[in-house]
Amino acid sequence: MADVSKAEPVLSIENLTLALPPLADRAHAVENVSLSIAPGETLCIVGESGSGKSMIAHAVMGLLPKAVKPKGGAIKLAGRDLLSLDEAAMQDVRGREIGMIFQEPMTSLNPVMRIEDQIFETFEAHGLLAKSERRARTLALLTEVGLPDPARLAKAYPHELSGGQRQRVMIAMALALEPKLLIADEPTTALDVTTQAQILKLLDNLRQKHGTAVLFITHDFGVVAEIADRIAVLQQGKLVEQGTADQVLSNPQHDYTKRLLAAVPSLIPPQRPAIVESKPVLSVTDLGKVYRKRSFFGAAREVKAADNVSFTLAKGETLGLVGESGSGKSTVGRCCLRLIEPDGGRIMLGDLVLSDLGKSALRQHRKRIQMIFQDPFASLNPRQTVGRIISDGPVAHGTSRKDALARAKELLELVGLSANAVDRYPHEFSGGQRQRVGIARALALEPDVLVADEAVSALDVSVQAQILTLIKEIQQRLGLAILFVTHDLRVAAQICDRIAVMQRGRIVETGPTAALFAAPQHAYTQALLAAVPGGARFGH
Amino acid sequence: MNFFKRFARNRGALIGLAILLAVVAFALLAPTLYPQSPWRMVGRPFMAPLALDRFPLGTDTLGRDIASGMVHGARVSLMIGVVSTIVSLLIGVPLGAVAGYAGGFVDDALMRFTEFFQTIPSFALAIVMVAILQPQLGSIVLAIGIVSWPPVARLVRGEVLSLRTREYVQAAVTIGQSTPRIIFSQILPNTIAPIIVLGSLMIGSAILLESSLSFLGLGDPNLMSWGYMVGAGRTRLIDAWWISFFPGLAIFLTVLALNLAGEGLNDALNPRLARGRE
A434-446 core/surface letters (b: 16 or more CB in 10 A; e: else): bbbbbbbbbbbbe
ipTM: 0.79
Chosen for mutation from A338, A340, A381 (greatest number of chain B CBs closer than 10 Å) is: A381
Is the pLDDT assigned to residue A347 strictly greater than 70?
yes
Tell me which chain B residues have a C-beta less than 8 angstroms from the C-beta of A369: 174
Give the percent of chain A with pLDDT over 90. Answer: 33
Q: What are φ and ψ of residue B91, in 5° steps?
A: -80, -50
- Tell whether the torsion through CA atoms of B266, B272, B275 and B278 is positive or negative: positive
CATH code at B149?
Answer: 1.10.3720.10
Residue of A nearest to B276 (CA): A66
The alpha-carbon gap from A257 to the nearest alpha carbon of chain B, in Å, equals 32
Label residue A277 exposed, middle or buried (CB < 10 Å: 0-12, 13-18, 19+).
exposed
Q: Which of A72-81, B109-118, B155-164 has the lowest mean pLDDT?
A: A72-81
Q: What is the CATH number of domain A282-531?
A: 3.40.50.300
Cα angle: A217, vertex A219, A222; to 5 degrees: 100
- Report pLDDT for A88: 87
Q: Write out pLDDT tens, residues A99-114.
A: 999 888 778 888 899 9
Tell me which chain A residues have a C-beta less than 8 angstroms from the C-beta of B167: 373-375, 378-379
Instruction: State the average pLDDT over residues A300-316.
Output: 86
Tell me which chain B residues have a C-beta less than 8 angstroms from the C-beta of A384: 185
CB contact under 8 A, B176 and A384: no
Tell me which chain A residues have a C-beta less than 8 angstroms from the C-beta of B274: none
Q: Write out pLDDT tens, residues B118-132.
A: 999 989 999 999 999
Alpha helices in B134-191 (DSSP H): 137-148, 150-163, 167-174, 179-181
Alpha-carbon distances of B51 from B45, B54, B237, rounded to whole Å: 12, 9, 18
- Report pLDDT for B254: 94
Higher pLDDT, A78 or A386: A386
Distance (Å, whole) CA A459 – CA A488: 12
Measured from the Cβ of residue A390, the count of other Cβ atoms closer than 10 Å reads 31
Q: Write out pLDDT tens, residues B172-218.
A: 999 989 999 999 989 998 898 889 889 988 998 999 999 899 888 88
Question: How many pairs of residues across A and B have Cβ atoms under 8 Å apart?
Answer: 66
Chain A contact present for B174, CB below 8 A: yes
Alpha-carbon distances of A444 from A336, A399, A441, A483, B181, rounded to whole Å: 19, 11, 5, 18, 19
Q: Write out pLDDT tens, residues A320-345.
A: 999 888 788 889 999 999 998 899 89
Q: Write out pLDDT tens, residues A17-37.
A: 998 887 777 888 888 999 999
- Report pLDDT for A405: 94
Is the pLDDT assigned to residue A115 strictly greater than 80?
yes
Distance (Å, whole) CA A205 – CA A184: 15
Residue of A192, A116, A189 whose CA lies nearest to A158 = A116
Whether B189 is in a domain gets the answer yes
Chain centroid, CA A235 distance in Å: 20
Domain of residue B88 covers 2-29+67-272
Whether B277 is in a domain gets the answer no
List chain A domain ranges: 11-260, 282-531
Name the pTM for this structure. Answer: 0.82
Q: Write out pLDDT tens, residues A165-185.
A: 888 899 898 888 889 999 999
Is the pLDDT assigned to residue A2 strictly greater than 90?
no
Q: Which of B166, B167, B175 sits opposite A393 (nearest CB)?
A: B175
CB contact under 8 A, B176 and A397: yes
CATH of A11-260 among 3.30.300.20, 3.30.70.1350, 3.40.640.10, 3.40.50.300: 3.40.50.300
Give the alpha-carbon dihedral of A410, A416, A420, A426, to 10 degrees: -110
- Report pLDDT for A182: 92
Q: Which of A65, A363, A374 sits opposite B178 (nearest CB)?
A: A363
Higher pLDDT, A518 or B277: A518
Chain A contact present for B189, CB below 8 A: yes
Residue of B nearest to A378 (CA): B167
Q: How many domains does chain B have?
A: 1
Residue of B150, B148, B85 whose CA lies nearest to B113 = B150
CB contact under 8 A, B276 and A66: yes
Chain A contact present for B270, CB below 8 A: no
Is the pLDDT assigned to residue A276 strictly greater than 80?
no
Is the pLDDT assigned to residue A85 strictly greater than 90?
no
Residue of B nearest to A445 (CA): B175
CB contact under 8 A, A371 and B189: no
| Residues on A contacting B at a C-beta cutoff of 8 Å | 65-67, 337, 339, 363-364, 366-367, 369-371, 373-375, 378-384, 389, 392-393, 396-397, 438, 441, 444-445
CB contact under 8 A, A339 and B172: no
Whether B147 is in a domain gets the answer yes
- Report pLDDT for A401: 92
CB contact under 8 A, A373 and B186: no
Tell me which chain A residues have a C-beta less than 8 angstroms from the C-beta of B186: 381
CB contact under 8 A, B189 and A67: no
The alpha-carbon gap from A424 to the nearest alpha carbon of chain B, in Å, equals 17
Q: Which of A67, A363, A384 sits opposite B176 (nearest CB)?
A: A363
A6-35 core/surface letters (b: 16 or more CB in 10 A; e: else): eeebbbbbeebbbbbeeeeeeebbbbebeb
Instruction: State the average pLDDT over residues A512-520.
Output: 90
Is the pLDDT assigned to residue A144 strictly greater than 90?
no
CB contact under 8 A, B168 and A366: no
What confidence tier does B49 reach under pLDDT thresholds 50, 70, 90?
A: confident
Q: Write out pLDDT tens, residues A408-440.
A: 999 999 998 988 889 888 888 888 899 999 999
Instruction: State the average pLDDT over residues A83-108.
Output: 86
CB contact under 8 A, A366 and B166: no
Q: Write out pLDDT tens, residues B250-270.
A: 999 999 999 999 888 888 877
- Report pLDDT for A1: 43
Q: Which of A364, A379, A397 sits opposite B171 (nearest CB)?
A: A379
Chain A contact present for B221, CB below 8 A: no
The alpha-carbon gap from A410 to the nearest alpha carbon of chain B, in Å, equals 18
Chosen for mutation from A364, A385, A392 (greatest number of chain B CBs closer than 10 Å) is: A392
Tell me which chain B residues have a C-beta less than 8 angstroms from the C-beta of A378: 166-168
What confidence tier does A286 reach under pLDDT thresholds 50, 70, 90?
A: very high
- Report pLDDT for A5: 47
Q: What is the mean pLDDT of chain A?
A: 87
Helix %, strand %, coil % of chain A (to 5): 40, 25, 35
Is the pLDDT assigned to residue A298 strictly greater than 70?
no
Contact (CB, 8 A) for A305 and A505: yes
What confidence tier does B46 reach under pLDDT thresholds 50, 70, 90?
A: confident
Q: Which of B174, B176, B278 sits opposite A364 (nearest CB)?
A: B176
The alpha-carbon gap from A376 to the nearest alpha carbon of chain B, in Å, equals 9
